[in-house]
Structures are given as structure tokens and as C-alpha cells.
Amino acid sequence: MRKGIAVSPGVAIGTAYVIHEIFVNPDTKLLEDSEITAELARYETARDRSAADLRALERKVDAQVGHEEASIFAVHRSILRDAAFTQKIRAWIVDERLTAAAALHRLLGEYTELFSRTNDAYLRERLNDVRDVVIRLSGHMSDVLRPEKSQEVLKGPLIVIADELLPSQVVALGDIEVQGIATQAGSQTSHAAIIARSRGIPAICGVSRLMRLVKTGDTIIVDGRAGHVVINPDAEALSAFRKLEREFFDLKDQLAENHDQPAVTSDGQLLHLHANINGQPDATASVAMGAAGVGLYRTEYLYLTHPDVPDEQEQYETYKSIIKSSPDQNITIRTLDIGGDKTVPYLGHHHQEANPFMGWRSIRLSFEHPEFFNTQIRAIIRAASDSPDSQVRMMFPMVTTVEEIRRLRGMVRRAYKSLEEQGLPTTRVPMGMMLEVPAAAVTIRSMLDIVDFVSIGSNDLVQYLMAADRDNPKVSHLCQPLSPAVVHVLHSVITACNDAGKSVTVCGEMAGQPKSFLLLLGMGLRNFSMSPAFVPSIKQLASRVSVAEAEAIFRKVAKFKTTGQVRRFMTEKVQELAPDLAILDTST
């Protein structure tokens, strides 16, 4: 048994499917003499296609973003053309009879070892470029994750094992029957965690040495409540966890029955439980789970999983499709939130930053590329205008100052004007801010006159408030949403918004956690946005507590001085109000 961080509740048992960063168990078989020529041709075809990709990307990014940003693809083409790079691959195929995939795997290993010996930031950044080129080449030779090949070998539900899951890897998984996820890196707010929660898949992260301990085909248990991974369990452990797994599925089936019921407290207070989504599958799931709408559509996943740069028409069609798929066509669309742990090559990937989470990201990056940003604003307005029955709102991430809001309003006005000049229909789209920065929390009352609504992004707000990187295990103990400091700041923001009559929502992971939900309800929050899979359980919990009880809970917690006191008290309250939901709560 190995301990990690619980990120998505429940228990899952299945067969391990190990995903390496680029290759899933690259072919180790040696080529026959008769296969060498075909393998060389396969590599050359992949190389030609990669070069064509990069030329097209360079032209597209140059036109939509800028010349400097497009230059990264010229660097990638030079790596692809590099004589030493190509000669090594060819030599290993011919002389050692390696497959092209195995040769690329070896080459990347050599570069990684070589560059790891230097402290030069520039050289380390070049390793990322080599890695990108290898990923592109391997993608043309075969599907990066080869899911269909694994289906031939592995039967039944799978437990995905990875160092860290990237959005593109999740897309490549396709329709594989994923029962659970365990990763070596990551945090409660990593890509893997967010995707697992949105799909209701038990998951844990931060499991030390996981990739060394597990091989494809092992039997794995993932306990997403306590944060445990059990590798090749004995019969006794398997039996005990199978019982917990059945309880988990039975409860999920039972909760699904409240799909058509509104979210109402025991004393009749109507609540609005919305869903956080990354794309079309999540929008569909949010309807099935009985969400009242979409409180957060993370548009960056369109960019992160796109082969190049989505243009205005492509964005417009995507947004319009997701609006129509959303519950009651009620949706809040967040503009591009790239940076930190989410990067694309043409927007900041080649810029080295000492602290990317507090640097050039989100709205700051959008200001740097106004034409690129304008394309997204226009696409959102067009999609909203062509969906007359919808309730579409536009939200901007990482807003810090009043000046930024005014600048954003000016950019939106110009987008409206350009659409009108082209004779395209427009409709008013409410504009809101995502509150993640402590400075914005402190000055929130001065911002409420110039925004239509506020959404609190508790994931980033917690790490910025506590000055603790949520992905750094050394300080993860400080990134606690139930800390007294976080509770105090959230209460002040919610109170300010309610006093001003402005809609306020919490759309961070706190909204879907039973312990946090009770506290937020007691603070006066009535709008929550969470992973779709959490909507039924939170709806059930809401039905068992009155507003008066929640307010009493908050008044008690407001007097506590330590995070431990808050957590213990809230755990007791959840157990007291809804003991049957304990299996859906994580240990953190």
C-alpha cells in the first residue's frame, strides 16, 4: 500500500494501464532484417508530416498571435532537421534493429540525461523543445497512448497510472473504460484531478515512486477517500475493498435519482448547483447529473488539446455547441486561462519564469496579445447572440485591479463595435471577474460597481493567500481551504457581494466538498459550481441542513484558530448530517 493525496472520492479496482510521458511501453522487440527498410520509411513519413505541421503552425501563429511567438516552431523545425538527431535515429533502426518509437525513446533519454547536468536555464528550455518534437514525431507514427492496442491486451476496467496526466493524454485515452486514476505527481487541482472529479472517477495523486512500483497488467486498488493505492492486493484486501467499491457504486446510483429535483435546503432555501466543465462530454454529464447550469467553462482545454490554434469560427462553433448542450443553456464562459501549469507553445511556453503561477499568465497574457484575445471575445459574443434562449455570461480570470476591469470593458466594447460594423448580430453578455488574487479580495467593494458578477476561484486563492505552491508537496500542508485565513477572506467577499446585490459563486473545488459546502452555505453563499459528478451528493447534503443550522456552524468555525480544529469539527458535522455520504468525502 502506498500513500498519496486524495483528489477524487470513491474506491476502484482494476488492471493497471501505465502511461509514460510519451510512450506506453514502447516496443522492445527487435526488427527483422526484412522490416528495417519499412521502419525507416515510416520514420521519414512521420518526419515529413511533422515538418509540414510545424510550417503550417508557424504561419498560423504568426498571423493570429505574433512573429516572436511563431518563432518557437522554427526552432522545432531546426531540431527536426538536425543531422545528429536524424542520424542517431536511423543508425539505431539499421544497426541495432530498434523500432522508430524505441529509438526516439532512447534519444529523448540521452538528451534528458545530458541537459539534467546543467543549471543553464536556456539549455533546460531546449530540452522542452526536443520533447515537443519527439511527441509530434511519435504522434504521427502511432497514437501516443495506443489505447486500442491496450484494449487487445487488457480486459475489463482499467486503472490509469501516470507520472502526471496532461489534457492531450486524456483525450488520447478515448473510450477506454477508466475506473480509477493514480499519478506520481500533481495535486488536488491538477489536470488529472479536475478531469477525474468531472467524470466521477476515484483518483489520487502524489504517490511516491509509483511509476517504478507498478507495471501494466498489475491489479490495482485506488482508494480516493483515504488517498491509498494498493498494488497486487492479497485475497483478504481485495475482498474488503470490493465491498467498499460496491457501496460506492450503490450510493452513486441512489443519488442519481435526485436528478430532476431542485437543490433545496431542509427549510426551503433554493440553491443553484452548477457544473464546472472542460468540454462537450462534461456539458452532457452536467445535464445527466441534474446541474442547474454551467458555472465555469474552462475554454483553455480547447487550446490545450487543439493540434494548432483554434480560429474564431472554430471557437464560435465550439461555444455554440456547448451552450446548446448545457443545462437550460445557462453557462458562464471563462476566457483563456493559460500559464502556470497550463501552457501552449505559442503563448509563453518558451519564456522561462522563476515563478510562473505568479507571473505572465491568464488575463495578463491576454493583455499582451490583444488581437488574439479579441478573437475569443468575438467568438463568445457571436455564440451567445446565435443562442437566443441561452443565458451566457463571460468571465475573466485572475483579475487583480480596478484598472484591469476597465481595460477589459474597453476591449469588449471594441469587439462589439467590430461585430456590428460587419453586420453580425450581437447581444449583451454579462461580464464578470474570477476572484483568485488576495488583492482583489481586499478591494472587492471597489470592483463591484463595474462587474456584473463574481466567481471565486478557491484553488488559486488558497495558494496565493497562503503563499504556498499547491503542487509542491513540501508546502501542500499549508494549501488548506479550511484554514481560518481562507474562511475569513471568503466570508468577507461573499458578504460584500451580497450587500451589493451582485451574484457570487464559488467555482473552485471547495464547492463540491461536503465540509466546505456547509461552511459556504453558512456564510451566505447560494450559488455553487463543481465537478458534475458532485452535484447529486451536494444536493442530497443540502436537503439535510437548514440555513439556520449552516449559519450556526459558520459562527462556531469563525472562532477557531487552527485548520485542524476546523477540519475536525466539519468532519463531525458531515458525519452527523449525512453519514451515508462519508464514502464520497476525501480525507483532506
Residue 352: phi and psi, rounded to 5, are -80, 130
Look up 507 and say whether it is catalytic.
yes
Q: What's the number of CA atoms in the CB half-sphere (13 Å) around residue 225? A: 15
3-class DSSP state of 530: strand
Global confidence as pTM: 0.77
- Each residue's pLDDT tens digit, 370-411: 888 899 999 999 999 998 889 999 999 999 999 999 999 999
Q: Which of 83-97, 254-268, 413-427 has the highest mean pLDDT?
A: 413-427
Q: How far is CA 419 from CA 312, 373, 377, 425, in A?
A: 12, 15, 11, 7
- Each residue's pLDDT tens digit, 8-63: 888 899 998 887 644 444 556 788 888 888 888 888 888 888 888 888 878 877 77
Q: Do the strands 2-3 and 228-231 form a parallel or antiparallel pair, or are they unpaired?
A: antiparallel
pLDDT of 331 over the 70 cut? yes
**DSSP E strand boundaries for 359-413:** 391-396
Look up residue 418 and give its amino acid. Answer: S
pLDDT range class, residue 147, cuts 50, 70, 90: very low
Own/partner contacts of 442-445, CB < 8 Å, gap of 24 or more, are 443/401, 443/402, 444/492, 444/493, 444/496, 444/497, 445/496, 445/500
DSSP H or E segment with residue 204: strand 203-205
Look-up: residue for cell 543508425?
Answer: 91
Catalytic residue (one of 191, 228, 274, 369): 191
Whether 311 contacts 375, CB under 8 Å = yes
- Each residue's pLDDT tens digit, 456-470: 999 889 989 998 876
Look-up: residue for cell 464520497?
Answer: 584
Domains of the chain: 2-23+145-253 (3.50.30.10), 33-141 (1.10.274.10), 274-429 (3.20.20.60), 433-588 (3.20.20.60)
Instruction: Decide: residue 60, CB within 10 A, 0-12 exposed, 13-18 middle, 19+ buried.
Output: middle
pLDDT of residue 473: 66
The better pLDDT of the pair 360, 93 is held by: 93
pLDDT of 150 over the 50 cut? no
User: Would you list the DSSP string of 40-55?
Assistant: HHHHHHHHHHHHHHHH
